[in-house]
Amino acid sequence: MRLNILIGGSAGQGINKISQIISEVLTSYGYYTFNYRDYQSLIRGGHNFNILCISNQKIQSNDEKIDFLIALDKNTLNLHKNKLKEKAIILESDKFLELKKDMNLALAGSLIKILGIPESYLIKEIKKHFNNINSINAAKQGYTYQKEKYNLKRLNNKPKIISGSRAIAIGAKNSELDFYFAYPMTPATGVTNEICLMNDKKLKFFQPENEIAVANIALGASFAGKKVMIGSSGGGIDLMGEAISMQGISEIPLTVYLASRPGPATGVPTYTSQSDLNLALNIGHGEFTRIVAAPGDPIQAIELTNQLIYLAEKYNSLSIILSDKHLAESEYSINLNYKIPLVISKKYSNKIIKKSSYETNQLGNSTENQNQVTKNINQRLSKEKDIENQVKNFKTYEIYGKKSSKNLIIGWGSTKGAIIDAIEDIDAKFLQILYLNPFPESIKKELQNSKKIIIIENNATSQLRELIKQKIQINIENRILKYDGRPFFTDELNKKIKEIIK
Amino acid sequence: MNTKDKIKTNEPITWCPGCPNFLILEAIKQTITNLIEKEKINQKDFAMTTDIGCNSKIFDYLNLSGIYGLHGRALPTAFGIKLANPRLNVLSFAGDGAIYSEGISHLIHAFRYNQDMTLFVHNNQNFSLTTGQSTPTSQKGYIIRGENKIEENNPINPIKLALASNATFIARTNAKDIPHMVEIFTKAIKHKGFSYVEIMQDCLIFNKDVNNKDKLMYKIKDNYDYKKAISLAEEFDYNSKNKKIPLGIIYQKKEPTFLEKFK
């Protein structure tokens, strides 16, 4: 069973609030949910919507076609009627206009009734958000107004609702990070908010004057004995480029969180994209190594954030956690079981210690000596091998689906959910690459053993395909690419894959 | 080994012969030696940051911990060190090119944050290491070598900028006056908050027009009055060849430091 509920209206009408309440009611009733947020870059008005997908089984994506349309305004119905399935149910706000700002709660109530969930589950969640009689009555009014159409049974699953941003924050806290620095930029800001919400005694946040300051403050703090992470989206990361190069020569540990959105420049700022893989792999002038990994769900985000902070500290290296708006801002419902975190302790040196943006001699002072320059570069690049060996202890890729299949789908990052959900009825397996650098070259055998290979990416130039060509000299012919700012939807992707795997 | 020897390095010094940077280095070494010997501050409890330019070569000549940072970024780097390790006495060295051009936003915000650290600006009113280009404090009419141009714009007045940005310690000194530098440097380091010290300095190679202004310089008493500070700031506009240049603590006030405010 899988139902897709589109909740739409203008910004400020409480769309996120009711998706959240409906999700909480459903998870407390034992169901899994996935909430996709589609919103414009404005604060009031416009048109925003969420697609909330619910299921009795684990899900991590939503469909494009919808079973329920909850329309908080007329515009919503007009914009989305072409996505309605044949027997779709439409819930409109005009029945509850007198409730004014509480009409969203009435519509949530109506949906819960239609699904056949007892009223007590609804009221319990409403009370967590609005403990006032008007809000509770609005929900009850909506509930009473409708008739039960589905008879959802109580299930024993106990999933937790969590966004990718929250998962990154948990990974940071688990690593006993000291500081997170960032300048506001969608969709990276979610991590700032989640870290601040934790109100942790140890993990502190500061927002400096710009991203250049962010990165240089982080290097200073890391030098002085603290574990640090910085975050932004593409534009902000560009501004950090020089300091990231400074990390390359000074070898001051630094972890960077990069949450992508469509570029170039401001692009489509509140939408999603995987177009910054090359940026993560290449940012910073000069030749130096780095670790780049891309989680595809909240558990991977928790674990990879932890691994990357650990690796940055252990190898005095640059770590880049590559995410995007879709992973950062979608709300997953999962069983929150993750590996015991790796924690590395860090202290300020008790000796005179000098780090520099110049090439240096053994004392840390500037040098132009040709032998020393070569030696330094060799030393810095040599740790790539050490990192590679260490990373072998971690999962660098995952395989899902029918493991014996000769049809191989390859992807990375936030497309994971839609791909797994889309191949349920297809003879295919899915290879998700977690570490983009060091690159898991052992995947070569998987590719060689497959007859048909499809690469799926949320970008226009298939950046992973180019990386695979460079690293293991295999040219992948079939590509499914999407670069309209929207993530892949399960039904859409299922169709596209079936066009290739007949 | 005496303290002064402990805080120097044996790196060959590559400043031009006669450059006032030698005198600034000497004044810094005297200041730090005093603080280590008299105030019992541990040598390891100093940390310095520099940016890129002639002045920043001082990093190689001081045996202190720190980061030889990027051009214009001495302040955020220093801010991070202090934030992470409040016990350190953090000193930043920057030139007028880096701090007033590339790093100007960091300077304005440093005044606002009032992190307890000290900035020394070596101001010779031009870029020297890149062989003679104009900075925001180059005098109007400065001849820009290599560009076949003269500077057409008026300079900014960084002292006024500091006053407008809620600075809590503003001082000016002369690179040819070691005792005055030591006095001001010591007071700056001891100030609780962000201390900004501008060191007026000749460039013997690329900006001879504004050298030898010593006769115009005069020493003031430590000033705590804001209105007086504004008039002191306005006395010298970085263009004038005959107006007086006040030296000393132009303004000082007490305000909570960044770490006292940070939660």
User: Which token pair is A198?
Assistant: 């934790």
Q: Both A230 and A343 in a single domain?
A: yes
H helix intervals, B117-209: 158-164, 178-190
Three-state helix/strand/coil letters over A327-394:
HHHCEEEECCCCCCCCCCCCCCCCCCCEEECCCECCCCCECCCHHHHHHHHHHHHHHHHHHHHHHCCC
Helix or strand holding residue B259 (H, E): helix B258-261
**pTM listed for this prediction:** 0.97
CA distances (Å), origin B4, targets A375, B8, B13: 32, 7, 16
Domain boundary among A334, A357, A391: A391
Which positions ≥6 away from B244 have C-beta within 8 Å? B216, B217, B218, B235, B236
Residue A470, chain B, CB below 8 Å: the answer is no
Q: Both A407 and A332 in a single domain?
A: no
Burial of A79 from C-beta contacts in 10 A (0-12 / 13-18 / 19+): middle
Q: Both A360 and A422 in a single domain?
A: no
A220/B79 Cβ within 8 A: yes
A220/B84 Cβ within 8 A: yes
Read off the pLDDT of residues B54-105 as tens digits, 9 standing for 90 and up.
Answer: 999 999 999 999 999 999 999 999 999 999 999 999 999 999 999 999 999 9
User: Which token pair is A345?
Assistant: 């302790």
CATH of the domain at A284: 3.40.50.970
Place of tokens 């997953």: A332
Q: Both A174 and A322 in a single domain?
A: yes
Grouping H, G, I as helix, E, B as strand and the rest as coil, residue B149 is: strand
How many domains are there within chain A? 3
Of A213, A226, A356, the CB nearest to B76: A213
DSSP string, B127-141: BTTTTSB--TTSPTT
B59/A204 Cβ within 8 A: no
Q: Which residues of A140-178 are buried (b: 16+ CB within 10 A; e: fewer)?
A: bbbbeebeeeeebeeeeeebebbbbbbbbbbbbbbbbbb
Residue A285, chain B, CB below 8 Å: the answer is no
User: Which token pair is B129?
Assistant: 């290491």
H helix intervals, A146-198: 164-174, 189-198
Residue A356, chain B, CB below 8 Å: the answer is yes
Would residue B193 count as lying in a domain? yes
CATH of the domain at A151: 3.40.920.10
User: Mutate which of B77, B105, B258 to disrupt the A interface (most A C-beta within 10 Å)?
Assistant: B77
Read off the pLDDT of residues B192-236 as tens digits, 9 standing for 90 and up.
Answer: 999 999 999 999 999 999 899 999 999 999 999 999 999 999 999
Residue B1's pLDDT is what? 84
Would residue B14 count as lying in a domain? no
Of B63, B80, B108, the CB nearest to A224: B80
Note whether B98 and B124 are within 8 A (CB): no
Read off the pLDDT of residues B164-199 as tens digits, 9 standing for 90 and up.
Answer: 999 999 999 999 999 999 999 999 999 999 999 999
Residue A43's pLDDT is what? 87
Helix or strand holding residue A21 (H, E): helix A15-28
User: Angle A108-A113-A116 (CA atoms, 0-180°, nearest 5)?
Assistant: 130
User: Which token pair is B73?
Assistant: 């970024």
A84 C-beta neighbours (distance < 10 Å), count: 17
User: How many residues does this entry show for chain A?
Assistant: 502
Give A 197-256 residues with CB within 8 A of chain B: 204, 206, 208-210, 212-213, 216-226, 228, 242-243, 246, 250, 252
Q: Give the Cα separation of A123 and A369 in Å (integer).
A: 73
A206/B77 Cβ within 8 A: no
Domain boundary among A342, A361, A391: A391
CATH of the domain at B86: 3.40.50.970
User: Mutate which of B73, B104, B115 to disrupt the A interface (most A C-beta within 10 Å)?
Assistant: B73
Q: Both A10 and A127 in a single domain?
A: yes
A218/B84 Cβ within 8 A: no
**Does residue A118 have a cis peptide bond before it, meaning omega lies within 30 degrees of 0?**
no
DSSP string, A406-434: SEEEEEEGGGHHHHHHHTTTSS-EEEEE-
Residue A131's pLDDT is what? 83
Would residue B211 count as lying in a domain? yes
* Strand-pair category, B245-252 with B195-200: unpaired
Measured between beta carbons, the chain B residues lying within 8 angstroms of A365 are 9, 11, 59-60
User: Angle A488-A458-A318 (CA atoms, 0-180°, nearest 5)?
Assistant: 130
Q: Both A99 and A77 in a single domain?
A: yes
Q: Identify the bridge partners of residue A332 per DSSP, sorted by sequence position.
A: A34, A162
User: Mutate which of B14, B65, B262 to disrupt the A interface (most A C-beta within 10 Å)?
Assistant: B65
Q: Over the Cα atoms of chain B, what is R_g?
A: 17
Would residue B126 count as lying in a domain? yes
ipTM (interface predicted TM) = 0.98
Q: Both A126 and A37 in a single domain?
A: yes
Would residue B11 count as lying in a domain? no
CA distances (Å), origin A60, targets A207, A433, A478: 32, 17, 24
B234-239: long-range pairs with CB below 8 Å, 24+ = B234/B157, B234/B160, B237/B154, B237/B155, B237/B157, B238/B125, B238/B137, B238/B138, B238/B139, B238/B155, B238/B156, B238/B157, B239/B139, B239/B140, B239/B154, B239/B155
Tell me how far the alpha carbon of residue A93 is from its chain's centroid.
32
Residue A326, chain B, CB below 8 Å: the answer is no
Of B9, B43, B49, the CB nearest to A220: B49
Give A 177-196 residues with CB within 8 A of chain B: 178-179
Would residue B206 count as lying in a domain? yes
DSSP designation for B156: P
Q: Give the Cα separation of A196 and A183 in Å (integer).
A: 14
Residue type for position B243: K
Q: Both A380 and A310 in a single domain?
A: yes
Note whether A64 and A30 are within 8 A (CB): no
How many domains are there within chain B? 1
Place of tokens 């977690």: A434
Measured between beta carbons, the chain A residues lying within 8 angstroms of B52 are 357
Note whether B229 and B168 are within 8 A (CB): no
Distance from CA of B24 to the nearest CA of A (A): 19
Of A99, A92, A152, the residue nearest A122 (C-alpha):
A152
Place of tokens 């500061």: A206
Phi-psi group of B105: left, alpha or beta (phi > 0 → left; psi -120 to 50 → alpha; rest → beta): alpha
Domain boundary among A332, A363, A391: A391
Q: Both A318 and A402 in a single domain?
A: no
Structural domain that includes position A221: 162-391
Q: Divide the 502 residues of chain A into consecutive groups of 10 and give the mean pLDDT of each group.
A: 95 92 97 96 91 97 96 94 95 90 94 97 95 93 95 96 98 98 98 97 97 98 98 98 98 98 97 98 98 98 98 98 98 95 96 98 97 98 97 97 97 98 97 98 97 98 98 98 98 98 90
Structural domain that includes position B36: 21-261
